[in-house]
Amino acid sequence: MRKMREHGYPISHLVFNRLITLHSSPGRKKAIPRILAQMKADKVAPHVSTYNILLKIEADGNNIESLTKVFGEMKRANVEPNEITYCILATAHSVARLYSVTEVYVEEIEKSKTGNNWSTLDVLLILYGYLGKEDDLERTLGVIQKLPHVRYKSFVLAIEAFGRLGRLDRAEELWLEMKSTKQLKSTEHFNSIISVYCRRGLIDKASEVFKEMETNGCRPNAITYRHLTLGCLKAGLVEEALKALEVGMDQTITSTVKRSTPWLETTLLVVELFADRGDVENVKRLFTELKEARYSRAVSDLTFLQGENDVAKLFSILVSFKEGNLKIVRLEDDDWDETSTSTDLLDEEFNAATTFITCNVLKEGFVLSNEVILELFGLYKIATHGPCNDAHQPSPLKMVLPLIDMQKNKDGDYEASSSAAKELVGPVFSTFLHEDSDDLLWKLQLIHASSREGEINNLLKCIDSGTSVNLKDSEGRTPLHWAVDRGHLKVAELLVSKKADVNIKDNEGQTPLHYASVCEKQGIAEFLVNHGADKKLKDNDGYSP
C-alpha cells in the first residue's frame, strides 16, 4: 500500500480486502481493527465483499455474537447483503445448531440468489440437510441435475445431506449415479458414502466401499478412519473401533482435513459414544486432538450451549477438573421444591456452568478424575434425558442443580469465566462450501475480485499494473471465468480485448464457455464463440459446452 501511495495510485476497498484477508489468521486478526480504522481515515467505504470477509472470519471462529455484530454494522452502513452474505450467515448458524435462525437466512438466500449459481446451490444442499427439509433438498438437487454438468462436489454434498436425513436409499442412489457418470478419483468421494453407512452402524457396507476405494488407488485419510471408528462403535465392535482410531491418529492430518465438517462432526459423535461407555481416556485423547486443531471455541461458545445438539453440552461436561477444586453438592430430597424454581433460570445457570467447566480444561495442570467425570456424565444424562425406568430416580430438574452447584462452590466467578471463554479464537468447522469453500473469499487476487464484482475501473488498474489477465486462483479460475460466472458481459468484453484466453481451463477442465453454458448466460456464450471459444473442448468428465 505504501508503494501505491508513492505512485499516486488510488486506494480502493479491494486493497483493504486483501489486507484483511492477509491478517485473517487467529494470530494476526488483532490487526484488523487498525486496517478498518485506516480504511475509514482514507474515506474508503467498505464494500459488500469487505463485510463478507469479516463475516467469514467470525463464522470460522464460530463466534455468533461477533458475527451478528458485524452484520449489524453492515446494515447500519446501508450496505446491501448478497447471496454470499446470507450463505455465510446461514451456514454459521446451522453449524451452531441454531436452526430456527438458519431457516430465516435460508429464505433470504432463496430470495437473493442470482440464477443457477452452483456455489449457492451447493450451500443449500448442506443447509437443507441440516434442517431436515427433504422436499427442499430434492428440489435443489433437481435444479443442479438440470445443469449441463453436475460437479463432484454436488454429488458428495447431496449424499451426505441425505445421510443426515436418514435416507439411506436416496444416498445410495446418488452414490451409484456418481459412480456411473463420474470417474471416482478422490478419497472424498468414497468418504461421503462411508460416512452415511457408519452413522447407521452398517460396517459391512462401509468395509466394502473401503476395499473399493483402495482398489481404485485412493488412499484412506484421517476422516476415513474416523468414520470407520464411528461405524464400529455403532455396531458394537469396540476392539475394531479402537484399531481404526489408532490408525487414523497415526495419519498425518492436514489443516484442510482438520478444518473440514466431516472430521469434526464424526469426532464429536465418537466422543459421545466413548463417553457412553465410560471410556474416559479416549475422550481425553480426542479432546486433546480437537484442542490442538483449535476447536476449543466449539465447546465453549454460547452458540453451542444454546443450541439443540446434545453432543456439544455433553462434550462441555466431559472435561478435566483439578482434584480438590470441585465440590459436589448433594441435595436432600426433602429440601427441593420443583414448583418454586424457574426452569428458564436453571437453564441459564446450567449453560453458564458448562461454559465454566469448558474454560477450565483449557488451563494447564488439570488432572482428570474418572470418578468425577463419570459422576458428571451420569448427572448430565439424567438432567437432559430424564430418569431411567426406576421409580427411585430423581427428576431431571432436580439433577440440574448439582451441576450448577459444582461450579458455584468453586472459588471464582463463572460469569467472568464465560467472558473469558468468548476470547478463545480459532478456526472451527463451518466453511462456506465444505472444506474447500475458503477459496471463494480468501484466495481471490484483486483482479479476480474485480472481475467477480463487475468493477471495471479497478479491473483496469490491476491490468495496467501488470497483473496477468490469465492469472488463476486456487481452483484454476481466471478473471474471465469469474466474469462469465457472474454474468458480467462488459467485464468479459474488456478481458477479451486485453488478450484473455477464451479457451483456458480451470482445475476441472472447464473453459469460460462451459461456465456460460452451465449458468445459462446466452449473451456471453455467443460473445465467447464469436471471439474464438472452442465449442468442442471437453472438460475432465468428457463434456463439451
3-state secondary structure 300-356: CCHHHHCCCCHHHHHHHHCCCCCCCCCCCCCCCHHHCCHHHCCHHHHHHHHHHHHHH
Residues 132 and 165: beta-carbon distance below 8 Å: yes
HSE-CB of 71 using CA atoms within 13 angstroms: 21
Over residues 175-204, the pLDDT tens digits come to 888 888 877 778 888 888 999 999 888 999
Distance CA 358, CA 346 (A): 18
Distance CA 19, CA 361 (A): 34
Mean pLDDT of 503-525: 87
Alpha-carbon torsion, ordered 525, 527, 532, 533, to 10 deg: -10
Q: Options 2.60.40.10, 1.20.900.10, 1.25.40.20, 1.10.3760.10; which CATH number does 443-530 get? A: 1.25.40.20
Q: Is the dihedral of CA 59, 60, 65, 71 positive or negative?
A: negative
CB atoms within 10 A of CB 291: 14
Averaged pLDDT of the chain: 72
Give the orientation angle of helix 222-234 with respect to helix 187-199, to 10 degrees.
Answer: 20
pLDDT of residue 295: 54
pTM of the model: 0.56
**At 244, which helix (H) or strand (E)?**
helix 238-250
Mean pLDDT of 126-134: 89
pLDDT of residue 303: 32
Distance CA 71, CA 85 (A): 9
- Classified as helix, coil or strand, 141 is helix
Residues 452 and 389: beta-carbon distance below 8 Å: no
DSSP state of 395: P
Residues 373 and 274: beta-carbon distance below 8 Å: no
pLDDT of residue 504: 94
Least confident of 81-95, 169-183, 374-388: 374-388
**Cell 465454566, residue located:** 356
Distance CA 194, CA 207 (A): 8
Give the orientation angle of helix 310-317 with respect to helix 261-276, to 10 degrees.
Answer: 60
Whether 228 shows a pLDDT value over 70: the answer reads yes
Mean pLDDT of 502-527: 87
Q: CA 446 → CA 24, 91, 181, 339, 471, distances in Å?
A: 16, 26, 36, 62, 10
Q: Helices (DSSP H) in 27-82: which residue ranges?
A: 32-41, 48-60, 64-76
pLDDT of residue 261: 67
CA-closest candidate to residue 94, choices 137, 119, 124, 70: 124
Distance CA 408, CA 108 (A): 43
Over residues 433-479, the pLDDT tens digits come to 333 333 333 334 678 878 888 888 888 888 888 888 999 887 788 99
Name the grid cell of 218.
485412493
Mean pLDDT of 79-107: 85
Distance CA 48, CA 524 (A): 25
Q: Is the dihedral of CA 368, 374, 379, 382 positive or negative?
A: positive
Query: What is the separation of C-alpha 401 from the centre of its chain, rounded to a whole number of angstroms?
Result: 34
The amino acid at residue 325 is N
Domain assignments of the chain as residue spans, ordered by start: 313-421, 443-530
